[in-house]
Structure 1
Amino acid sequence: MSSLRWLLDRRTADGRHSVLCNHFHTSSYWFFVFDAPTFTLRDVLKHQELWPLQRRQIREIGLQVVQAVQSLHKNGVLHSDITPDSIEVVSMDTVTLNMCDNEGAFFDKVLQVVLRSTKIRLVFFGGVATGGDREIGTDQYRAPEMVFGWVSKFRTDNFSIGCVIWEMFVDSALFHPCRKGPFYVQEKAHQFVARLGEFPDDMVERVRRIRGDIFSCSGEKLIGVGDLSPEVLDFVKHADVISDVITDEEALEVIENMTELSPKKRLALTDILDCSFFSLTDGPF
């Protein structure tokens, strides 16, 4: 109750949390309803002056997202819809930096526009992951197990975070959007392989037991190329694997380990935070 009183107090409306609109509770949980975000990471990605995003700011935003999702997981809750649209950016104010080298010498006329603050809040619509609906989540950020209709695990969220971190570096989604329809799963499977490599044997066998239109009867070869839309087919033919696009080795380690096709192979968030990309000892940029 003290937290509720603090949130309702006008004196605490200082930007550290979203505006509390309503609250209610059940026998097990207390629910807080906050105002919709004014700005999101999507707005940042669309802001041409901010591109490319500063490495340090990508790290700071990514770190906050991981820690926020960790907090949900510790309470036994999946998010299941982590996208740039569900990451609220507290302020879109910017500053212009004079760039310098490692010795502190400023480059002549080299300026970079960056966010004044990288503070974010993770927007969570409670209950999004409580059902078994295979429609849960946003298409381009959905993990393979969600696409195949399997039970989501905590590491399902890890996959989505990896997609978001990729997008902050590349300024485009990891996958092409797919329209819902009879060939949705086929289109997703082909995109997963194009970007992330072949499915492991155990996943192939599990998919084959429930669907006969994804993999060939023997081996790991995908079938159904003729069923792909022209846009998805073009993407599959020309998509580069992650390691050919991300040249930052520390960022690559994080993205690859978060977007493993098999949930079992994805690093836990605790281990992700131990990766050198999230170390605070590297340079300012």
Structure 2
Amino acid sequence: MPTWDPEQYVRFADHRDRPFHDLVARVGAGREEVEAVVDLGCGPGTLTASLLPRWPHARVVGVDSSAEMIGRARDLVRDRGTDRLSFLHQDLRDWIAGADSSAYDVIVTNATLQWVPDHLDLLPDLVDLLRPGGWFAVQIPGNHDAPLHALLREVARTEPYAEHAAAASDRFSLPGPGDYLTALSALGCSVDAWETTYYQVLQGEDPVYEWISGTGARPVLQALPDDLRPRFVAEYQERLRAAYPAQPFGTVLPFRRVFAVARRGAVEHGSHPAPEGTRDR
């Protein structure tokens, strides 16, 4: 995994935060009944903290594998002075393996599972961590074929960059809403799955590059030696400017996102085999 820059990540906070709020809005857990919430892939923690007033009696835990992000999140805890909010520096797969069954009322993972290969295989364990009637909510980007990613792969696979960056540009295929609907329904959950394309209007110079340099381009940029990185960035920015031309009102970045919200039912999910073809993605 790349190292992360919390300051770069939050530059476009309004756009990055909106899918989280749209996701959580579909979680039907009542304000008074929720006692334990976890946010897997919590980043700098601001969105995790926004769950405190939503469920005023809950303890809320954020988990992230980035030391930089967790450092920023723990500063937030000190600023807020609450014992209901805490953060763990841990890979989410390790956290899932060590967590207690039926311990959580709500599990949220926002813009995180796209980094985990075959993450549909984690769904049975995640559902097992929910109490009966508990809620699981996931959102991932669905734009891996969009120009900003296609151009990143294209430049990374040309010389003189390829020997350093080609492997870092590879991306595995990601589930769509139908995949989540099928897999979570097979685990005994009731499921609401959908997708949305946000037409984000970005401001500033080379805003699409600034956007992706804080997220999807980081593995490629960090794989490049220092002497090649400026040249790579210049070529990539030129292609992005052509693909996303500036308009008088800003630069439009269409961004598809995939959502699923599932509620664990009374049926024991272990009696439902995973649907054919979902566990080998």
**Structure richer in strand, relative to its length:** 2
TM-score between the two structures when normalised by the length of structure 1: 0.26
Larger RCO (CA within 8 A; separation ≥ 6):
2
TM-score between the two structures when normalised by the length of structure 2: 0.26
